[in-house]
Structure formats: structure tokens, C-alpha cells
Amino acid sequence: MSGFAGFPPAVFAWFEGLEADNSREYVERTRDVLDGPVRGQMELLLDALAGDEFGQQIKLFRQHRDLRFSRDKSPYKTRTYGLVSSPEQGYYAELSARGLYAGTGFYRPEREQLARFRDAVLDDATGAELEALVADARAAGLEVEGATLRSAPRGVPRDHPRVALLRHTSLIVGRRLPPGARGIGREAAMGHLANTWRAASPVLRWVDRTVGRLASG
């Protein structure tokens, strides 16, 4: 493969098959699809977007699941995902039966980082800034997601004006492009990732400035 060519319908059919039969037998029987149109093309997509704007480093995560501490013993992840990053920023891409997802933010922060995030949200200046950035992201068609507490963090009033943000223990901003009848073509995939990452970048810069650079996983 000389360059990213897009994701044909066979890619999304492969993920649907993996969800129905998460077994070594299925993966080995369809190894040509996994190694080529799925993982091979995903790596080429990340490589095509690596550069000065998003970062020079790419990382494609392994398809095998870590079963050591999991009750779920299914051996394979039902999504293929990776990062384009630099020491200052990181952008996430994910391929699954549901389509192509692009996003950024913070995930699984250390305790000290989560404390800095909450302090920054509680601060009237930086908290109001994040609130405005999140509103801008939603207005641009992005979804704001992430794990949250059921209630306000300890010591925070439940009626705090930014309690919805304070409940977050991770904060992800992004959106998904569903596959069409012909899958997802080259230009559509590259445009989706680049435009989503650009729209989410203000939130990422806020996180880097107030929380600090998080490990890429």
C-alpha cells in the first residue's frame, strides 16, 4: 500500500463480524482484512495527517485486549484506534462498526491532574473559559463526553454553576462519521479527522495549560 485509500464496506462488515464472533478463529480466518483494509489503512491515515499541525508521532494500539484484570475474556478489541501526537498535544482516531471517530481531551488522568482540572473549573476565570469553549465545540457539532461522577465531587455544592463540568473524571470532545453504502472514502476520512481535531483544539489547549500533558495510554 502506497498511501491511504479509504475504508471500504468490507472494513465495517469485518467489525460487525468480530462483534458477533470475538474469537481467534474468526480473526485468523479474516487476517487479510484485519492487517490490510483495517489496521493497515488506519496506520496510513494517521501517517497522512501527521505533521506540524497535529504532531509528528503516530501510535496504533494493539488489537488484543489485556485480559489480566478483566472479567470479560473476549480476546480482541472491537475497535481499532490510534493517536497522532507531539509532546504538547495528542489527537485520537477510532475505527469500528459504527464508523470513524475523531476526538481529543483527557482520559484517565492521575489524581493530581484531576485535582488541577477541578481547581481550574472552580476558578471563575479558567472555569468560565472552559465553559465557553465547550459551548463553542457543541455549536460546531462536536459531542462532549467522558466518564462522570453521579453527583458533585466532595466539597463542591450540587448547585455550583459549573457542576456538570466538575463531575467529569475524563473529558472528550469529538464526533463520529458513520459509514455510507460505499464505506468511508479517503477525502471524507481525512477531512473528518482534520476538521474535528481543529474544532476540538481549543479545549485541548485549555487542558494542556491547566491540567498538564497527560500520558497517551
Mean pLDDT along residues 162-175: 97
Mean pLDDT along residues 53-72: 88
Task: Render pLDDT for 37-59 as a digit per residue (tens, 0 to 9).
Answer: 999 999 999 999 999 999 999 99
* Confidence at residue 215, expressed as pLDDT on a 0 to 100 scale: 46
Task: Render pLDDT for 170-215 as a digit per residue (tens, 0 to 9).
Answer: 999 999 999 999 999 999 999 999 999 999 999 999 999 998 765 4
103 membership: H or E segment, kind and range: strand 99-106
Binned at pLDDT 50, 70 and 90, residue 217 comes out as very low
Per the rule left: phi > 0, alpha: psi between -120 and 50, beta: everything else, 123 is beta
Instruction: Tell me the C-alpha distance between 68 and 87, whole Å.
Output: 30
* Confidence at residue 214, expressed as pLDDT on a 0 to 100 scale: 56
Q: What domains sit in the chain, N to C, each tagged with a CATH number?
A: 6-210 (3.30.930)
Instruction: Tell me the C-alpha distance between 164 and 6, whole Å.
Output: 38
* Confidence at residue 212, expressed as pLDDT on a 0 to 100 scale: 79
Residues above pLDDT 70, as percent of the chain: 97
Task: Render pLDDT for 94-138 as a digit per residue (tens, 0 to 9).
Answer: 999 999 999 999 888 899 999 999 999 999 999 999 999 999 999
Q: Which residues pair with 86 in a beta bridge?
A: 89
Find the largest Cα–Cα distance for the chain. 57
Mean pLDDT along residues 141-148: 96
Q: Is this structure's pTM higher than 0.85? A: yes
Closest CA to 170 of 148, 144, 142: 148
Instruction: Tell me the C-alpha distance between 78 and 94, whole Å.
Output: 10
